[in-house]
Homo-oligomer: A and B are copies of this chain.
Amino acid sequence: MNQVEALRAMAPLTIESTRSGLVESVHRVSVAVVDATGRLVASSGDPGLVTFWRSAAKPFQALPLVLDGAADRWGFGPQELALACASHSSEPVHRERVEAMLRACGCQEEQLACGPHPPISAAVAEEAARGGVKLTPKWSNCSGKHTGMLALARHHGWPTEGYARAGHPVQERLLQEVSRWTGLPRDEVLLGVDGCTAVCFALPLGAMARAYALLGCSPEAAPKRLREAMWAHPELVAGTGRLCTELMTACRGSVLAKVGAEGVYSAALPGLGMGVTLKVEDGDGRCSPPALLAVLRQVVARLGPQVGLTLPLEQLSHHVEPVLRNTRGEAIGSLRATGALEFH
């Protein structure tokens, strides 16, 4: 390593987009790695950055299903719980299970507040477009979460109308859980409207990471059931080829991971009792997977030996440095991580 390379390795975590061997664009990343008490173990950029947690909050929005008895009431097993935590790719398996969940809790697709959007899976999106398929709410990547919200409302006897909006009993219950796991008073969790119209939560990265640290190693039955559902069915949490799915398949039991829109990624490392949340400053969702893998690699390299933790991340090299191609399919560059976490 020469001096320039050594200085770059000490800089904050950044994802570089290259073209023909030159850096064309840069994406700064803020990261918080904390333990279950909220102590900052490692960071990059601004670990106190307040931003929206987006879909990385989904496990905490799904927890009341288990805690309040709705999952048992409606017969939701590991697959349904995994889907309630999902940002799925709208593959047939995702859509069909959402339909079954709706039937189980006595609801209709028309009650889902989530708007449709082109499927995250390019293959599914292309097939739907070619087939002239009308995209309905079950196609939303958030349809499992929304179905969970309807199931919670039905379980408690709350109105289903307006279930996704701030102030509705469903959202009050979810906010209570977000507050409990992040350790933030409810009035310090700022509320917004997510892409799917449901309430989303703005809070510091470190508080999000703390919630994941707890989720990953809590001995309580509900978080244990939820994380085991995600590990049992990673294919339902995201979809074919996506990092959440492939990472939890390769590192089942060792890494719990959930992506969020606008460059957010959260993960738990139960073996270290730690949680991670990162935010790509500019929100580029192509960059959060390589950023998460860079963080996991650095954390495990530094702290793994103390507890004998290793991760088979070499299986995920296509997510470590995704190749960028031009319109003729030629590889013209890649997204690659540079810089380092600072350990405290």
Contacts and interface: CB of A to CB of B under 8 A. Distances in A.
Interface of A: 17, 19-22, 24-27, 50-52, 113-117, 126, 129-130, 132, 140, 190-197, 200, 202, 262-263, 280-284, 326-330, 332
A284 to B, nearest CB: 6
Contacts of A262: 17, 24-25
Nearest to A19: B192
A27 B132 contact: no
Chain copies in complex: 2
A157 B197 CA distance: 60
A332 B193 contact: yes
Contact of A25 (B193, B202, B283): B283
B330 A25 contact: no
A116 B328 CA distance: 8
Given A326-B195, A327-B115, A26 B281 contact: yes
B327 A116 contact: yes
A327 B195 contact: yes
B284 A197 contact: no
A132 to B, nearest CB: 6
A294 to B, nearest CB: 17
Given A24-B52, A25-B263, A193 B282 contact: no
Nearest to A332: B193
Given A115-B328, A117-B327, A283-B17, A192 B130 contact: no
